[in-house]
Amino acid sequence: MKKIKISPSILSADFSQLGNEIKRLEAGNADMIHVDVMDGHFVPNLTIGPPVIKTLRKYTKLTFDVHLMISPVHKYIKDYADAGADIITIHPEATENLGESISHIKSLKKKVGVSLNPDTKTNVIIEHLEKIDLVLIMSVFPGFGGQKFIPEVVNKIKELNKIKKEKKLDFDIEVDGGINFSNCKLVIEAGANILVSGTTIFKENDGNLKKNIEKLRTV
Ligand code: DX5
Ligand code: ZN
């Protein structure tokens, strides 16, 4: 059983203090930092891009778990690799050739993730599973923090975990969206080993990051 890792989403952080917020997350024992990149086209919201990630890189050595909600995505991948992303996660719908985009990320010596929206079936990525490091299961439709967890995705986590075992693969299963203290155990038992959370980590227990991160990891 893989160690459960917590990847706090800075989408819920104070954007005027992102460097300090990242340092607070590190002090709160975050395992990595989930950076939500949105372009206002693939999703109806706009956040940050390579220049901001480049400046944040010097605030921590923690893994930058970069979630690219942008399309087209292929031609921008190198910009995020150069800015300091460690894991680059893309959506199949955002590239004309998923296999080529996966190879491109690997050629840049970065870990590659593929993200499945709630309405995207696992068969879209089956043929690529041997090549990827992480599958990001969206438990909300991407674009905003603070949305309600979609319980139907639990079956998708179980299905993916079963395929992973059958194929004897070792990719991480990360879940992202509406994760809180009442559903985190459910997704872990279904097979997730990395939890993304923004609202729960930054808002619960008066914003006690260390307490919220630990509670998600061990509840
Ligand atoms: C949504 C993002 C998620 C989101 C998670 O499009 O991909 O990472 O920020 O935030 P919460 O935990 O508030 O749902
Ligand atoms: Zn995300």
Among 117, 137, 196, name the best residue to mutate to test ligand 1's pocket (greatest count of ligand atoms within 8 A of Cβ): 196
Q: How open is the CA angle 69-136-190, to the nearest 5 degrees?
A: 150
Q: Which residue among the candidates 39, 65, 172, 176 is catalytic per the annotation?
A: 176
Q: Is 176 a catalytic residue?
A: yes
Count the residues in the chain: 219
In this predicted model, what pLDDT tens digit does every residue of 10-29 receive, in sequence order?
999 999 999 999 999 999 99
Atom of ligand 1 nearest to the CA of 180: 12
Residue that has been written with the tokens 């079963």 in this structure: 162
Which two structure tokens, joined as six digits, stand for 42?
Answer: 């693939």
36 is catalytic: yes
Residue 34 phi/psi, 5-degree rounding, is -90, 115
Q: In angstroms, rounded to a whole number, what is the distance separating the alpha carbons of residues 24 and 6?
A: 14
Find the angle CA(38)-CA(42)-CA(48) to the nearest 5 degrees. Answer: 10
SS3 content of the chain, % helix, strand, coil (to 5): 45, 20, 35
pLDDT one-digit tens code per residue, 91-144: 999 999 999 999 999 999 999 999 999 999 999 999 999 999 999 999 999 999
| Contact of 31 with 8, CB cutoff 8 Å | no
**pLDDT 10s digits, 71-88:** 999 999 999 999 999 999
pTM greater than 0.85 (yes/no): yes
